[in-house]
Amino acid sequence: MSNKITPTASCADPSDPESIRVSAALERIAQQVTPISESEELPIRDCLGRINFEKVVSPINVPAHANSAMDGYAIAFDSLVDDSITELEEIGTAYAGIAFDGICGDRQCVRVMTGAVIPQGADTVIMQEQVELDSGQVRVDADHRRGENVRHAGEDIAVDQTVIEPGASINPANLGVLASLGIDKLKVYRKPVVAFFSTGDELVSPGQPLEKGKIYDSNRYTLFGLLSGLPVEILDLGVIKDEPESIRHTLVEASERADLIITTGGVSVGEADYIKTVLAEIGDINFWKIAIKPGRPLTFGKIRQSLFIGLPGNPVAVMVTFSQFATPAIQQLCGAEIVSPARLKAISIDKLRKLPGRQEIQRGIATHDENNEWRVGKTGKQGSGILSSMSKANCFILLPEENTGVEPGDAVDIQLFDWD
């Protein structure tokens, strides 16, 4: 009998032949997600952060009329005398919203305020700071160009121009554009319903007494916070006991109500980890291990028409895998344009240990140095259960599979948090 054991693959190993690469996992998820097809029409103020359903076309020109970009004097440019001073007669005033009812003729001018309609006959506005007033005459030199300080009709938005594409997230600027077009309602995608729950007999909700061997459930609160920043309807199903029947009942119930089900815990290979087993009975498993640290035991599949993402139980792994895999899936489900998080180059100020074989995501604090260049240091211990490493951090440090470690001064990729 051998005096050594032959271990099976675990999360402590630098690689695992059963794990799929991060890029393959993202591709498989994208292939299985069908965007929501239903829409609802809402007042535009209720559309902030929602996903636009159909192309928005301008019904009008913006601005609707040629108007002044400055306080000054509207003139016919041909009134100006070359290389000399021209004296103009002021014949009236135009205000924003109150047009001058007349014609600006040769050697005449109209006092105009910013936003006022350009009077008939005028084509140029001279800033008030660039004229001289003398006994009722307005004196202007020749150092000007035709059309200056005039905003033309449709200069911002032309009639029939597309202003918001389907799949765009409605932001404050979009609201302003819609209001400027007189649009008071908008069609947006229905919010997908995301149900989530934690599994674990050891979990206790905050506010309850903590008995020996128990821990407070932080993952549901973390998930609530992450989901709250996305255009989804949140369905918190609480903490479910580590019992196959309880898990099965909850998953079936969730599949009848939700477009996406997210769980935390119960997806590893322990004797009380039942999520994967139950999912195989009532749904389909697409994959269940990814070559990433932290977050290797991530399960993706379907239950009926509902997507399923089983996140690991460790708090840091929950946040890492949610940001890398659940967020793009939710973006696609919402009908949104999938926006990959921006990656920046930063100089590491710390030594970072890593073995090749899987992508590793460490938690970092990124700052600008005196040359306005990014520098990044780790937040301390990087264990997947050390949630404080996330609360101190403002970015992920992304180390690719082939990376064998980082020395101070080396360049690394970072991904700034999008929930700060």
Model confidence pLDDT, tens digit, residues 135-148:
889 999 999 999 99
What pLDDT score was predicted for residue 136? 81
What pLDDT score was predicted for residue 1? 52
What CATH fold (topology level) applies to the domain 39-62+155-189?
Answer: Molybdopterin biosynthesis moea protein, domain 2 (3.90.105)
29-56 average pLDDT score: 97
Alpha helix (H) residue ranges in 86-218: 172-180
Alpha carbons 90 and 94: distance in angstroms, whole number: 11
What pLDDT score was predicted for residue 17? 67
What pLDDT score was predicted for residue 341? 82
Alpha carbons 364 and 366: distance in angstroms, whole number: 6
**Which two three-digit tokens encode residue 76?**
């016919």
Does 3.40.640.10 match the CATH number of domain 344-416?
no
Whether the predicted pLDDT of 420 surpasses 90: no
Whether the predicted pLDDT of 261 surpasses 70: yes
Virtual torsion, Cα 58, 62, 65, 69, nearest 10 deg: -170
What pLDDT score was predicted for residue 267? 63
Does 3.40.1350.10 match the CATH number of domain 22-37+190-333?
no
C-alpha 259: how far from chain center = 20
What pLDDT score was predicted for residue 107? 96
What pLDDT score was predicted for residue 200? 83
Reported as a pLDDT band with limits 50, 70 and 90, residue 418 is confident
Reported as a pLDDT band with limits 50, 70 and 90, residue 12 is low
- Pick from 147, 132, 130, 129: which is nearest to 78 by CA? 147
Alpha carbons 43 and 170: distance in angstroms, whole number: 12
**Mean pLDDT score of the chain:** 92
CATH fit for domain 67-151, picks 3.40.50.170, 3.10.20.30, 2.70.70.10, 2.170.190.11: 2.170.190.11
**Which two three-digit tokens encode residue 333?**
């489900």
Reported as a pLDDT band with limits 50, 70 and 90, residue 271 is very low
Look at residue 249 and give its three-state secondary structure.
helix
User: Edge-to-edge strand order for the sheet containing 132-134?
Assistant: 124-127, 72-75, 108-112, 86-94, 137-140, 132-134
4-27 average pLDDT score: 73
What pLDDT score was predicted for residue 176? 97
Alpha carbons 298 and 359: distance in angstroms, whole number: 14
Whether the predicted pLDDT of 130 surpasses 90: yes
Reported as a pLDDT band with limits 50, 70 and 90, residue 219 is very high
43-47 average pLDDT score: 98
Whether the predicted pLDDT of 242 surpasses 90: no
Beta carbons of 186 and 56 less than 8 angstroms apart: yes
What pLDDT score was predicted for residue 269? 56
- Sequence spans of domains, the chain: 22-37+190-333, 39-62+155-189, 67-151, 344-416
Residue, of 196 and 212, whose pLDDT is higher: 196
Whether the predicted pLDDT of 6 surpasses 80: no
- Pick from 241, 164, 291: which is nearest to 250 by CA? 241
Whether the predicted pLDDT of 386 surpasses 70: yes
228-232 average pLDDT score: 95
100-122 average pLDDT score: 97
Share of the chain above pLDDT 70, in %: 94
What pLDDT score was predicted for residue 384? 76
Instruction: Please indicate whether the domains covering 22-37+190-333 and 67-151 agree at the CATH topology level.
Output: no
Half-sphere exposure of 132 toward its Cβ, with a 13 Å CA cutoff? 9
